[in-house]
Structure 1
């Protein structure tokens, strides 16, 4: 089979690899029908994920058809259409039992990082009963594609933000995760959603898709003052930071009202610091971490009911053959690229 391999030093190559096989009774092997390029893949490519292994096939965002299962897989059958959780988790350790699956003692971010991922024709999924969610007949592969990563990430950010009905929620970053966070904030009852980004086209797109009520272009203006005007000088009731830059990290606490929650679901390529002496008295609560994608079943029901559409995220599609071009376009945000979807390899 063909797969996209991370070779280290910013180098990727499409290579022929053996089709994966069952290694543990809890494994499943899938034929990948759709995958996607994620910003986290770029972090690996750029050397910002030290735990990533050279020689690994990238990718953790995918759907597929089960082709083989281990003897301890009880909730899936060969032929099932499934969507994958981006997190590998056992379901049995203390962290899993608390719902902190990102901290699983036997898992975490494994697929496409430490073990071969989905930007290939086939993929082996450990703890398949935990990490795979059946796709209902009424839901297409592409509708379910983002379930276990960016949909879960956006939902996680809104959940962390402790949104109450009527709150004004600021979402920093109008990329894929940010747009999913906006949609999730609506589900949690936000009264007003403010989107902030440096890319006016993405802001316009989010507004066009009715994901936000107000947009603010971060073009050097006083963002705190802009938010104060919108919020009767209070600041945002909750802030979800999805952009992942030094500037957006600082903006997150600056635009929050006193006693607000700041939820950080972005991944940074360098260390960030908080100027606590400037923040003293704002009494902010910060919540951050990798996505604990524990709500895939719930989110699948929302997708099935039409309450969490994801088709607007897909701007480009091409076969696995063209994935290196996909990385170039996605990384550089060319041609209005939001998400590049990888279709099966063409022989």
Structure 2
């Protein structure tokens, strides 16, 4: 089969690999019909995610048709059309029983590596890194899906790939981000990052009763989508005087946003001040770890007693104004998404017409064009916000 393969920083290629096979009775193999490039994939592409190895197949937002079914799988059959969550979860450990699927205790075969780095191991993830399992990803013609009774959801008849594909990651991720923010009716919610997760976080905040949503970014096409599609007030952080947090505090009559969502993560950009440029240069040559500008701003902006939700992916260490967070009584909630928890309720929202996730798609391309589309997405060429690949 053809699959997008990681060969090093900035180097991904479509290579030929053996077709995946059933390895455990609980596996299925799907023929991938649609798969997407995620902002998290750029952390791999840019070389910021540890424990990648040349030859790894990447991608974690796939859907397709079941081709082979392991003898232990009871809820899927050949020919079913399914969306596959990026989290791999066993369904029976303590964490899965608490519906904390991204913290599964048993699905990461390289758990010891993760424990050494983080103290504990989260779940295995498709196409992410060897620290998180080394599982082949979904930017490929075929995909082996472990624990298939716990992961994939069958797509109802009449729904397009484009409507349901993002149940694999970014729609549940944006929704969990809004849920973690503990939004109450009438709250002012600030969202850093108007990429795909940020857009879904904005729309989810409205679903949860936000009274006002403010979106922060610097890319005109993302700000335009946040304003026109997601109905947010927008702030271009390169066009304001002074720090973002002071601007937000002024916009909220001195109180600050009630809830703040960092949908940016490790490769945040800041206004073009000298320190930001030095930090970015240091990170580019791996002299420094993740850039925490968005999270720093959120801590300073958030009202006293407010909540900061972090769906943005971080890989290593950050410098944060933690004293400000402690003294302001800020609550943090974060983590990889418990995708399986949200599949059925969010599928229903799509069926009921509450949201059509396909609004986020700006580019569709064949798998063979994936290396070029990674550069287009990373460099934000051609107003690129979300790429769907068709193997």
Same fold per superposition (TM over 0.5)? yes
In the alignment, the residues of structure 2 paired with residue 136 and residue 329 of structure 1 have an alpha-carbon distance, to the nearest angstrom, of 33
1:214 aligns with 2:233: yes
Q: Which residue of 2 aligns with 1:38?
A: 38
Larger mean CA deviation between 236-245 and 43-52 belongs to 43-52
TM-score, normalised via structure 1 length:
0.95
In the alignment, the residues of structure 1 paired with residue 141 and residue 390 of structure 2 have an alpha-carbon distance, to the nearest angstrom, of 9
User: Which runs of 4 or more aligned residues in structure 1 lie more than 4 Å from their structure 2 counterparts after TM superposition?
Assistant: none
Which of residues 316, 320, 323 is equivalent to 2:370?
323
1:27 aligns with 2:27: yes
TM-score, normalised via structure 2 length:
0.84
Q: Which residue of 2 aligns with 1:157?
A: 177
Judge conservation of contact 2:202–2:232 (CA < 8 Å) in 1. no
Which of residues 176, 186, 189 is equivalent to 2:209?
189
Query: What is the CA distance between 1:228 and its match in structure 2?
Result: 2.5
Cα RMSD (Å): 1.5
Gaps of 5+ in 1: none
Q: Which residue of 2 aligns with 1:100?
A: 100
Query: What is the CA distance between 1:137 and its match in structure 2?
Result: 1.1
Q: Size of the alignment, in residue pairs? A: 343
CA 2–213 in structure 1, closer or farther in 2 if over 3 Å, else same: closer
Q: Which residue of 2 aligns with 1:247?
A: 293
Which of residues 114, 130, 139 is equivalent to 1:119?
139
In the alignment, the residues of structure 1 paired with residue 235 and residue 63 of structure 2 have an alpha-carbon distance, to the nearest angstrom, of 35
Gaps of 5+ in 2: 108-122, 129-133, 269-291
Larger mean CA deviation between 20-29 and 133-142 belongs to 133-142
Query: What is the CA distance between 1:64 and its match in structure 2?
Result: 0.2
Task: Name the SS for the 2:303 alignment partner.
Answer: strand
Task: Name the SS for the 2:205 alignment partner.
Answer: helix
Query: What is the CA distance between 1:287 and its match in structure 2?
Result: 1.4
Deviations 1:240-279 (A, max 9, x none): 1101222211111111110000001111355213223344
1:230 aligns with 2:245: no
Query: What is the CA distance between 1:319 and its match in structure 2?
Result: 0.7
Q: Which residue of 2 aligns with 1:168?
A: 188
In the alignment, the residues of structure 2 paired with residue 57 and residue 279 of structure 1 have an alpha-carbon distance, to the nearest angstrom, of 39
In the alignment, the residues of structure 1 paired with residue 44 and residue 10 of structure 2 have an alpha-carbon distance, to the nearest angstrom, of 8
Structure (1/2) with the larger strand percentage: 1
